[in-house]
Amino acid sequence: MLTRRLATDLLARFADGAPPAALLGHLAFHGDLLPVDRSIPPLDDLPLVQAGVATGPGARRALVVVTPPNTSLRQTLATVAQRLHVRSPHHRWLLVAAGADGGSGGFAAWRSEGARARVSALVFTPQRPLASDAETLLALQAAMDGDDVLVHDRWCEILGREALSHRFYRALEHHVMALGEGARGSAPSEARRSAALLTTSRLLFLAFLQSRGWLDGDADFLARHLDRTLAQGGDAHRRFLEPLFFGTLNTRVSHRATAARRFGRVPFLNGGLFARSPLERHHRALRFRDEDLGGLFDDILTRYRFSPLEQQRDWSQSAIDPEMLGRAFESLMASRERRDSGSYYTPHALVVRVTDAALEQAVCSAGLVPDVRAALRDPSLLHPDERTRLGRGLADLRILDPACGSGAFLVHVLERVTRLLAAAGDARPIAELRRAVLTQSIFGVDVNPMAVWLCELRLWLSVVIDLEVSDPLEVPPLPNLDRNVRVGDTVTGGGVGLRHHERAGDGVAPLRARYARATGLRKVSLARQLDRTERRRALDDVADRLALACRERYELVQAARGRDLFGHRRGAVGGERLALAELRAQVRALRQTQRTLLRGGALPFRFASHFADVAARGGFDLVIGNPPWVRLHRIAADRREALRRDFVVFRHAAWQSGAAAAGAGAGFAAQVDLAAIFAERSVELLRVHGTLALLLPLKLWRSLAGGGVRRLLGTDHDLRLLEDWSEAPASFDAAVYPSLIVVRRLPGAASPASTPFDAATRASSPAIAGASDLGSADTVQLGVHRRELAISWRCARQALAFDDSPGAPWLILPPPARQAFERLGRAGPALSQSGLGRPLLGVKCGCNDAFLVECVEGGVTHATVTAGGRQGAVEVALLRPVLRGESARAWTHARTPERIIWTHDDAGSPLAALPPLAARWLSRWRGALTKRTDLRGRQAWWSLHRIDGASHDRARVVWADVSRGPRACVLPAHSPVVPLNSCYVISCRDDVDAAAFATLLNSPLAAAWLDALAEPARGGFRRYLGWTVARLPIPSDWARARSILAPIGKRGVAGEVVGSDELLDAAIAAYRVRVSVARALVEWTWR
């Protein structure tokens, strides 16, 4: 059995120039190592000193190789893995490699991803094996028992970054919290936590630099200086970290004090990352304890291997990389803050897909090359003229992430554009090219200052990872990014301006480029110039908006002063009076803002002023990212009013046709998500023909409240791509259901007449300006990504929607399933138009604690009830059984002792007075009950709401609003059961109709049709809301259909087990559709 000490010793023995012989025995490989001829495939042409194979249980094999000195071990592992994946896929391989010079060692395994292998690897330094390296080897040994496939999967998990990342996140969260809570000095807990995260982030950045040998050439620089400080009296925060951060790394070598020079050859990195933040200046006395810093160093900085290279499609390394900082941001946000801000970590696979789709559409829209996908795969294969056009177009891109978070999208798009430019012929060194792209093309905004900080940190790491320097003093200063990545609220930041001030934009881009490179006093001087420019542009923007508001107010006033046919003043009519009041308030606010700006007050964030050069050219070429997803009820009430005023997708959120057909209230049908508002703002920030590529909630394409955003993106602009990622393996770590949408902005009345790239570029290639390998203009590409499946297809844009009504839901169904869906829709009228009735929401209490009780003992006149630890008595006549959504089952419901205090008479009106026991029970909640928003006029304070579904004079069919399948149960006539508002109800004409409709709703065919339309919910559930089920087609010959369906339903209600095959056959017969049609829909939806 391996111990940690023995594992460390085995890894250290790789320094002898070959893997130790004892290693393979610990990993369950037995016998002698059999030599392999290095001239045979898959080892031919590879620089290897020796190679051998060891046999393990079953199909397990170990290939042991030794590489020559000065050879990339990582590259060798990757190449051998890809070749073995092709030539020997029937064996379960573990690669073990060592450098002949003893400088490196490694392990690798891989999973198949189509034609390529995704390699998971550990590459380590034998002279300095880390604790995490030893833990990885211990885990490999512990995973050797079991089936070959299972063992191989464990190898991939252990050697990949996921197993390491979970340990790292847990340790990081623990130590950041301990650092903040243990800090000495007076500061609120949130400030302590933020200061701890700032310090930890700086140390993580330095750990990456330390891995490159750029901290005095010492691989243990940080730990060595901490130990020295602790040995000389402690107080490491004041005596080690502050001099290093704020006296060394942010100071030129020639200007450093004597104490700073003692750190040795440490690079000057400029003041962005290593300048005191406003929080640190405000809480300057805050000090972290030595023991907490020691724990952070021991468990994070010296325990884990740090690699500046982020994971790639074919390579995942067991090391901490910059991409993990994004996950760290997600893990370190409090759960409530995450929920309220709607910020979620985006998986790398989705970042890659969004970026690729965005760049494809941007290049296609510009007409730069005839084959876009081939050009982006390898620009070096293009004709020289095409490479020139592509390079010019890519260099001219302006890319924005409007909710950049920790920078996942910006980092990846920076890397992608840099590599494309290099392949297209840009001869500058890759590090220099990356800096140029970053300072000229990459922009981000986020409302969270800590997110902006982490985004800048990851971008800084990106510009140093490829530097080919060994001397720390040759590392160039980090660029100043605070004018590219801004703290601000995209939602309130406006568009790029009502008109374009070319003068205001003149010179801003070169000024910002000079500022990005500046240091010291020159940096301060350029910052002041940029501040003055932004203030002038902010005043221009306020003047524009003030003039527009005054003009609109003048027109309304003039219309009100006009005279009608009889010579009387017309006056303000309709909503004009309210509009005038809003305009007057807006004018007052703008004039106050104008006065504040003229007096030198703080600039509110506005895109038109903070990105004046981008505004002058008409907007951004690409807007990319994953904006916050926040439901309406989590948005403050005062902010909702401002959003309703400013955004069309809020004012006209509802799909009007669907809401009217289902009888949905205006409030329910307008439950807009903040993501839809971000989508509207993002379109406004684009140039004409610019590209929008966002991850948005899938529910926006199916919900009633998504009508506004569907009209905006699908009708007003050019929808190019829509993909469903809700069931993909690269899922979020939160219960969210993403989709990818790509839209091209079309010209509009308020849109600037511009193009995404220089007009001369397009004019120079008229033959290909309209060509596209991404489909014709009147089609849209659709796709679905699931765990075992990824497919895409094209469809006509008008065929995407559920029907022809404005804002109708979009159905992402492949052609066979969509044809089956349409065929079923033609089999009869929708439920709401069939005569069977419309779905009703169950009874709403408004205060469950008051009305819902558990009956523990019944009597003739009164019963003993309990609720919330309180016990009392209530009249038996007022107690009725309840049915919650989670208790609804197919055919019948689960019976529980739960009851509702029913305060209405048989006609549905509130009781004139409560009986004494009920009055005593409810009086405790009288204050809360009188404040309910549903209480109208002089209604009694004990009233219940939406009570129509509780009427029991006829048979009812009830189903849960959220479930896996509709699960319809039957309540016979005169049943006292009260369905609550987690259920929907249909009141039927008779028991036969109820049995027949319940059978239809419980059938796999009806469930599949509804699943295609219903919103997804947590855990694979669907939302079978009233409007959704109201659209379900009912067989046109209902008399015939119910003769088929009702007998089955009656058997189910009686307790007989009814199989899904029988239900499917009955539904097919009732609808009169072909079996093949029905199965196409069922098999796709339930796959």
Q: Is pLDDT larger for residue 321 or for residue 1022?
A: 1022
Pick the closest to residue 194 from 173, 178, 180 (CA basis). Answer: 180
Residues 6+ apart with CB under 8 A from 115: none
Backbone angles phi, psi at 577, to 5 degrees: -65, -45
DSSP secondary structure string for all residues of 116-140: EEEEEEEEE-TTS--HHHHHHHHHH
pLDDT category at 755 given cuts 50, 70, 90 is very low
pLDDT surpassing 90 at residue 206: yes
Cβ–Cβ < 8 Å for 498, 510 = no
Judge whether residue 822 has pLDDT over 80.
Answer: yes
Give the C-alpha separation, 413 to 416, whole Å: 5
CB-side exposure of 175: number of CA atoms within 13 Å?
Answer: 25
Q: Tokens in use for 638?
A: 């005062």
Task: Tell me the three state secondary structure of residue 147.
Answer: coil
The mean pLDDT of 457-483, rounded to a whole number, is 90
Q: What pLDDT is recorded for position 499?
A: 53
d(CA 347, CA 344): 9
Q: What's the rounded Cα separation, in Å, for the pair 999 and 1004?
A: 10
More confident residue, 639 or 680: 680
CB atoms within 10 A of CB 399: 25
The phi, psi pair for 305, rounded to 5°, reads: -85, 135
The whole-number average pLDDT for the span 853-872 is 88
Q: Which residues contact 708 (CB under 8 A, 6 or more apart)?
A: 648, 649, 650, 651, 652, 653, 654, 672, 676, 807
Amino acid at 50: Q
For residues 436-448, give the mean pLDDT: 95
Residue range 56-114, pLDDT digits in tens? 999 999 999 999 998 889 899 999 999 999 888 889 999 999 999 999 999 999 988 77
Q: How confident is the model over 534-546, as pLDDT tens digits?
A: 999 889 889 988 9
DSSP 568: -
Structural contact between residues 633 and 626, judged by C-beta atoms closer than 8 angstroms: no
C-alpha separations of 114 from 82, 118, 315 in Å: 12, 10, 15
**574 or 334, which is more confident:** 574
Q: Strand 620-625 to strand 399-401: parallel, antiparallel, or no bridges (unpaired)?
A: parallel
In the sheet that holds 969-971, the strands lie side by side as 840-841, 983-987, 956-960, 969-971
Is residue 906 packed enough to be buried (19+ CB in 10 Å), middle (13-18) or exposed (0-12)?
exposed
> Going by C-beta distance under 8 Å and a sequence separation of 6 or more, which residues neighbour residue 524?
none
Q: What is the pLDDT of residue 770?
A: 37
- pLDDT grade, residue 763 (50/70/90)? very low
Taking each helix axis as running N to C, give the angle between helix 1060-1071 and helix 1038-1053, from 0 to 180 degrees, rounded to the nearest 10. 160
- Spatial neighbors of 128 by CB under 8 A, at least 6 apart, are 219
Angle subtended by helix axes 189-211 and 161-182, to nearest 10: 130
Let me know: does 981 contact 843? Beta carbons within 8 Å: yes
Which residue, among 496, 397, 458, 1011, has the nearest Cα to 750 in the 3D structure?
A: 496
The tokens for 903 are 């305060």
CA–CA gap between residue 22 and residue 28 (Å, rounded): 11
Band of pLDDT at residue 342, cut at 50, 70 and 90: low
Instruction: Average the pLDDT over 496-507 and give the result.
Output: 60
562 contacts: CB under 8 Å, gap ≥ 6: 569, 570
Beta bridge pairs of residue 505: none
Rounded mean pLDDT of 791-813? 94
pLDDT digits (tens, 9 = 90+) for 367-407: 888 888 888 888 888 899 999 999 999 999 999 999 998 89
What does the pLDDT look like over 279-306, one tens digit per residue? Answer: 999 999 999 999 999 999 999 988 888 8
Q: Take residue 456 and report the two structure tokens written for it.
A: 């800048």
Number of Cα atoms under 13 Å in the Cβ half of residue 346: 34
Can you tell me which residue has the tokens 């740090």? Answer: 306
**Residue 301, number of CB atoms within 10 A of its CB:** 22
Integer Cα distance of 60 and 92 in angstroms: 5
Sequence-ordered list of residues with C-beta below 8 angstroms from that of 284, at least 6 positions apart, any chain: 276
- pLDDT value at 859 more than 90: no
pTM: 0.86
Please name which of 640, 749, 620 lies closest in space to residue 686, comparing C-alpha atoms.
Answer: 620
Question: What mean pLDDT do residues 246-266 have?
Answer: 94
Distances 110 to 83, 119, 122, 581 between C-alpha atoms, Å = 11, 4, 12, 66
Q: What is the mean pLDDT of residues 217-231?
A: 93
| Closest listed residue to residue 721, CA positions, set 696, 703, 686 | 696
The pLDDT of residue 333: 56
How far are the Cα atoms of 443, 448, 496, 518, 533 from residue 511, in angstroms, in the given order?
15, 26, 19, 10, 10
- Residues near 396 by beta carbon (within 8 Å), at least 6 away in sequence: 621, 757, 758, 761
Mean of the per-residue pLDDT values of the chain: 88
Angle among Cα 344, 650, 753 to the nearest 5 degrees reads: 90
- Is residue 758 scored above 50 in pLDDT? no
Mean pLDDT of 709-729: 92
Q: What is the structure's pLDDT at 958? A: 97
What residues contact 814, with CB distance under 8 A and at least 6 apart?
A: 782, 784, 791, 793, 1084
Nearest-angstrom CA–CA distance, 1059 and 1008? 16
Q: Which of 453, 455, 444, 450 is nearest to 337 (CA)?
A: 450
pLDDT value, residue 786: 86
Query: Which alpha helices (DSSP H) does 599-634 contain, by range?
Result: 607-610, 612-616
Residue 762 scores a pLDDT above 50: no
Nearest CA to 513 out of 611, 439, 620 is that of 439
In sequence order, which ranges of 120-238 are alpha helices (DSSP H)? 131-142, 148-159, 161-182, 189-211, 221-231, 236
Mean pLDDT of 214-241: 94
Confidence label for 766 from pLDDT (cuts 50, 70 and 90) = very low
Which residues, including other chains, have CB under 8 Å from residue 178's CB and lie 6 or more apart? 292, 295
**pLDDT band at residue 799, thresholds of 50, 70 and 90?**
very high
CB 958, CB 983: distance < 8 Å: yes
599-630: pLDDT as tens digits:
988 899 999 999 999 999 999 999 999 999 88
Q: Which three-class secondary structure state does DSSP give residue 1076?
A: helix
Q: Binning pLDDT at 50, 70 and 90, where does residue 776 land?
A: low
Percentage of the chain beyond pLDDT 90 is 62
pLDDT above 60 for 1050: yes
Provide the 8-state DSSP code for 1042: H
